[in-house]
Amino acid sequence: MTLTALTVLGVRLEAAWFGPPPDQAATLVLLHEGLGCVALWKAFPQRLAELTGCGVLAYSRAGYGASDPVTLPRPLSYMHEEAREILPRVLDAANVQRAVLVGHSDGASIALINAATVVDPRVRGLVLIAPHVFTEPMGLDSIRGAREAYQSGALRERLARYHRHVDVAFRGWNEAWLDPDFAAWNLRGFIPGIHCPSLLLQGRQDQYGTHKQLDAIEAGCSGPCQVVWLDHCGHSPHREQPEVTLETIRHFVADLALKGAPPS
């Protein structure tokens, strides 16, 4: 692992690189969940690099990990802005030439928006782990539960080990999702814009979303789509079922056309 930092639009973003550099292999770009960061991927990036032979780039979005903070409240369009304005510049700053976007939860939604709207020829595929494309009552209930755990101090104490600006990290995510106007948040209109191959993974016991999330993506996307459901697994397949998740991604990446220049 090589720790580094990327500067995007004047903001310093914590980053880490695993495996070969971008001029030697394709890059799997990890996009973390709503409370994630580089460190919270744990051993997953290193294992992913070893199994696929690809480079793996993990970075903490602004407000998370050791990245610069953001001003609260976050706009309710924060995932759209990350996908359209920040992510392409992250790929530029890291000199990524051929990419597979590997997103979890909020990060998966960001990957989806990017693939559907930016149409970047560097992006050859998507791995969407527990993606959100609309809100569901049970998911919002879980987010309210997270707020209670944070206010009690237990969750805040755990997150403070990973986030330099822990209140910014938590409130930026939690308060956006629990804003009454966020109930109308919906990405269904973007899904037909996805033309690259996609791998969708979700645990059957996901506490933040039902099968309707993956069903909507599978039914609507324009490119090849593979759906994998994991038994005895909640919202974080890469932590709860790491071996199955890694092997599934390995097979998916091996089947992609990741060599050579981007198609014109």
**Torsion over CA: 229, 191, 258, 20 (sign):** negative
Annotated domain spans of the chain: 2-254
Average pLDDT over residues 199-224: 97
Helix (H) or strand (E) holding 103: strand 99-104
Residue type, 34: G
Tell whether the model's pLDDT for residue 51 goes beyond 60.
yes
Provide CB contacts within 8 A for 179, sequence distance 6+. 73, 76
Tell whether the model's pLDDT for residue 102 goes beyond 70.
yes
The predicted pLDDT at position 262 comes to 44
The predicted pLDDT at position 259 comes to 55
Provide CB contacts within 8 A for 258, sequence distance 6+. 25, 26, 54, 98, 100, 124
Contact 200, 224 (CB under 8 A): no
Task: Please state, in angstroms and rounded to a whole number, the distance separating the CA atoms of residues 89 and 15.
Answer: 14
Q: What is the pLDDT confidence band of residue 16, given thresholds at 50, 70 and 90?
A: very high
Angle at 77 between CA 14 and CA 171, to 5 degrees: 60
What percentage of the chain carries pLDDT values higher than 70? 97
Tell whether the model's pLDDT for residue 264 goes beyond 80.
no
The predicted pLDDT at position 257 comes to 66
Which stretch of 102-111, 228-237, 249-258 has the lowest confidence by average pLDDT? 249-258
- pLDDT single digits (tens) 63-87: 999 999 999 999 999 999 999 999 9
Average pLDDT over residues 224-232: 97
* Number of alpha helices (DSSP H) and beta strands (DSSP E) in the chain: 10, 8
What DSSP string runs through 133-161?
A: SB--HHHHHHHHHHHHHHHHTHHHHHHTT
The side-by-side arrangement of strands in the sheet containing 55-59 is 2-8, 11-18, 55-59, 27-31, 99-104, 123-129, 198-203, 225-230
- The reply to whether CATH 3.40.50.620 applies to domain 2-254 is no
Q: What is the pLDDT confidence band of residue 119, given thresholds at 50, 70 and 90?
A: confident
The predicted pLDDT at position 3 comes to 85
Lookup result for tokens 């933040």? 208
* CA-based nearest residue to 3, from 24, 68, 14, 54: 14
Terminal Cα distance for the chain, rounded? 33
Q: How confident is the prediction for the chain on average, in pLDDT?
A: 96
* CA-based nearest residue to 29, from 108, 106, 132: 108
Question: Coil, strand or helix: which one is 29?
Answer: strand
What DSSP string runs through 63-96?
A: TSTTSPP-PSSPPTTHHHHIIIIIHHHHHHHTT-
The predicted pLDDT at position 260 comes to 46
Average pLDDT over residues 31-38: 98
